Chain A
Amino acid sequence: MHNSKDFKIPIGPQHPALKEPEGFSVALKGEKILGVDIRLGYNHRGIEKAAEERTYIQDIYLIERVCGICSHSHSTCFIQAVEEIAGLAVPRRALYIRTIIGELERIHSHLLWLGVAGHEIGFDTLLMYSWRDREVVMDILASITGNRVNYGMNTIGGVRRDISPEQSQEILIALDILEERTKYYIEVATQESTIIKRLSGVGILSREDVLRLDAVGPTARASGVKRDVRADDPYAAYGELEFKVITDERCDVYGRTVVRVKELMESYKIIRQALKNLPDGPIAIKAPRKIPAGEALSRYEAPRGEDVHYVRANGTEKPDRVKVRAPTLANIQAVKHMLRDRYLADMPIVIAAIDPCFSCTDRLIALKEQESATGKIISWPALHAYSLEWYKKQGIDFTALNKKLSAKGLTG
């Protein structure tokens, strides 16, 4: 083993250090990473297909469960597309409420990330304190929407719950607490030498690489690319609100940390403005059950980056096609690039730095034959036969059991 130029270690799909099942095959030379092969598809849930078999109203709750952390992002993104096809004029109050919830969600997601990043670099103190403070925003979300995650706030043509004057006071009080705490975290991030030394120069992604690999969200913004859907293509109420797109020139994990903590301050600013200018009026308009034929592409700046949903309607109660592109899918190629020629010990934090969400990004994979030069896709019966053969080599014979099962019609 010592002589081999590089050897591959598989990390995952089931690994104690990974929170979600995903496979990494890391080619190493000593401590140095020569290349990483990322394999998705272990947690494919078939949500896109399931969405085609449900009505638009049912789909809201299905799409909301694409991601647990950015559930409002996905449901808003989907609903925006549906509303565009149906030509619905969503009341302004609803748009403002969506913006407020979206920003509260960004706060909770970024605080969560800060804790996870702290944990990955062995700074668990940061994890404990940032998650404790995250409870403040979680409580606010629970009191407005009724739930800590999967808020169920959106409906086609508006939102389901209003923000009462008492609740906006509640939010403002919580924002004061959060702002004070965030200032402290900015101080910690910019002064604590263990953070700066551990994260600087790790996972470098140059500006050119961001543009070439199409990274999104804080990953792109930390490399000096001013890419934010809220500013580039304003949706909901962002066009009427004033905020800065935070960028950083450091191009490394430390830059991504700084971008995220500074973005928290912008989120507070946005929510304060939105609450101050919250227009009066209805919170929803009645939407038709049948959405007319048409198609739409919707973009949304989720906490992790740009989220894209494509919806095609065919005039019935159910969509013809729903396509979800979660931000992690856009960033995953950048991870591969960031890890090259780095040390293995940097891997957890570099992966964590894009704030990955593998279940959201998972898609169906086709298995290709490794040996064949053409890369022929293995069919289901061939794969089945291969598995039987493979187990036979290990000394386990499933042939008899397989015959029994296929007699009952239980196998493919």
Chain B
Amino acid sequence: MRPGKMLREVLGSIFKKPATNLYPAQKLDMPDRFRGKLKFYPERCIGCKMCMRDCPTNAITINKVADNKFEAVFDLSRCIYCAQCVDSCPKKALEPTKEVELAQLDKNKLRVVFSYKESQEKPKE
């Protein structure tokens, strides 16, 4: 029994580099299985609305825009990023991305629309 048991560890740490990262200057890569902001492929969607049915927070809405054409509306402020919709989708029309920095000052920007015409590359925000 003696005091200062951790002293050596503490002194040794003086010469090590900090364990923390200088966010936001230095950003870490998200793991491959990370569930971030969703991506929607309108051309694959068949409009079965299984994602809507399984979403725990009603964050996703699939709208029919024309025959066999669908658009998805995500409410990022509701989404809990569980990616159950990705599992529920029978046609793999949804995909989680590694995007994490989704905070917005404007509430309207949290509503993300993936419309059919503009395809998957440029979501209208």
User: Judging by beta carbons under 8 Å apart, are B5 and A57 in contact?
Assistant: no
A-side contacts of B19, CB under 8 Å: 132, 135
B27 in contact (CB, < 8 A): no
CA separation between A155 and B96, bound complex, in Å? Answer: 18
CA distance A59 to B80 in the complex (A): 13
A14 within 8 A of B: no
Tell me whether B87 and A155 are in contact (CB under 8 A): yes
B95 to chain A, nearest CB (A): 13
Which 5 A-B pairs rank lowest in CB-CB distance, beginning with the nearest?
A146-B33, A192-B5, A58-B56, A61-B56, A143-B31
Cα A241 to Cα B5 with chains together (Å): 35
Distance A55 CA – B52 CA, assembled complex (angstroms): 12
19 chain-A/chain-B pairs, Cβ below 8 angstroms: A55-B54, A57-B56, A58-B54, A58-B55, A61-B80, A61-B82, A65-B80, A125-B10, A132-B19, A135-B19, A142-B34, A143-B33, A144-B33, A145-B33, A146-B33, A152-B82, A152-B83, A191-B1, A191-B2
A125-B10, A196-B1 given; A62·B33 CB < 8 A: no
Q: Among the listed B3, B81, B83, which residue makes an inter-chain contact with A192, where contact means beta carbons less than 8 Å apart?
A: B3
A interface residues, how many (CB within 8 angstroms): 33
A146-B33, A152-B83 known, 10 other contacts, Cβ within 8 Å: A55-B53, A57-B56, A58-B55, A58-B56, A61-B80, A143-B33, A144-B33, A146-B35, A146-B83, A160-B87
Instruction: Flag whether A187 is at the interface (Cβ < 8 A).
Output: yes
Whose C-beta in chain B lies nearest to the C-beta of A133? Answer: B19
A8 at the interface (CB under 8 A from B): no
**Bound form: Cα–Cα A65–B83 in Å:** 15
> A57 with B54: in contact, given A143-B31, A193-B3 (CB under 8 Å)?
yes
CA distance A2 to B34 in the complex (A): 60
A391 interface residue (CB < 8 Å to B): no
Residue A147, interface by CB 8 Å = yes
What are the residues of chain B within 8 A of A150 when measuring CB–CB?
A: 80, 82
Interface size class of B (residues with CB under 8 A): 20 to 34
Complex CA distance for A129 and B16, rounded to whole angstroms: 13
Q: Is the CB of A191 within 8 A of B54?
A: no
Of B2, B6, B31, B54, the contact of A146 (CB 8 Å cutoff): B31
Those of A121-176 within 8 Å (CB) of chain B: 125-126, 129, 132, 135, 142-147, 150, 152, 155, 160-161
Residues of B within 8 A of A59 (CB): 56
Chain B positions near chain A (C-beta within 8 angstroms): 1-6, 9-10, 19, 31-35, 53-56, 80-84, 87-88, 96
Q: Please pick, from B9, B56, B80, the residue contacting A54 in the complex, using a CB distance under 8 A.
A: B56
B35 touches A188 (CB 8 A): no
Which of chain A's residues have a CB closer than 8 A to the CB of B96? 146
**A194–B2 alpha-carbon span in the complex (Å):** 8
Which residues of the other chain, B, contact A61 by a CB distance below 8 angstroms? 56, 80, 82, 84
CB distance from B89 to the nearest CB of A (A): 13
Q: Do A147 and B35 touch (CB < 8 A)?
A: yes
Main SS at interface, chain A:
helix
A160 neighbours in B (Cβ, 8 Å): 87
Question: Which residues from A are CB-within-8-Å of B56?
Answer: 54, 57-59, 61-62
A62 to B53, CA, bound (A): 15
How many angstroms between the C-alpha atoms of A160 and B4 in the bound complex?
46
In the complex, the chain A residue whose C-beta lies closest to that of B31 is A143
Q: Are B34 and A187 in contact (CB under 8 A)?
A: no
Task: Specify the chain B residue showing the minimal Cβ separation from A190.
Answer: B1
Output the nearest chain A residue to B87 by Cβ-Cβ distance.
A160
In the assembly, what is the distance between CA of A88 and CA of B19, in Å? 45
Known: A61-B56, A155-B87. A147 touches B34 (CB 8 A): yes
Q: CA separation between A140 and B35, bound complex, in Å?
A: 15
Minimal beta-carbon separation of B81 from chain A (angstroms):
8
In the bound complex, CA of A191 to CA of B8 (Å)? 14
Question: In whole angstroms, how far apart are the Cα atoms of A193 and B4 in the complex?
Answer: 8
Beta-carbon contact of B6 and A129 below 8 Å: yes
Smallest Cβ distance from B105 to chain A, in angstroms? 25
Of residues A135, A146, A191, A196, which shows the largest number of chain B Cβ atoms within 10 Å of its Cβ?
A: A146
**Is there contact, CB below 8 Å, between A129 and B9?**
yes
Docked-complex contact A152 and B55, CB < 8 angstroms: no
Contact A193 B2 (CB under 8 A): yes
Given A61-B80, A160-B87, A192 and B6 contact (CB-CB distance below 8 Å): yes
The answer to whether residues A194 and B3 also contact, given A143-B33, A152-B35 and a CB cut-off of 8 A, is: yes
- The CA of A194 and the CA of B1, in the complex, are separated in Å by 9
Contacts of B10 in A (CB 8 A): 125
Q: Provide the bound-state CA to CA distance between A297 and B57, in Å.
A: 27
Q: Kindly name the residue among B2, B6, B83 whose own CB sees the greatest number of chain A CB atoms within 10 A.
A: B6
CA gap between A132 and B84 in the complex, in Å: 32
Give the interface centre of B4, B5, B53, B81 by most chain A CB atoms within 10 Å.
B5
**Across the interface, do A146 and B1 meet the contact criterion of CB distance under 8 Å?**
no
Query: Can you name the residue of chain B whose Cβ is closest to the Cβ of A184?
Result: B9
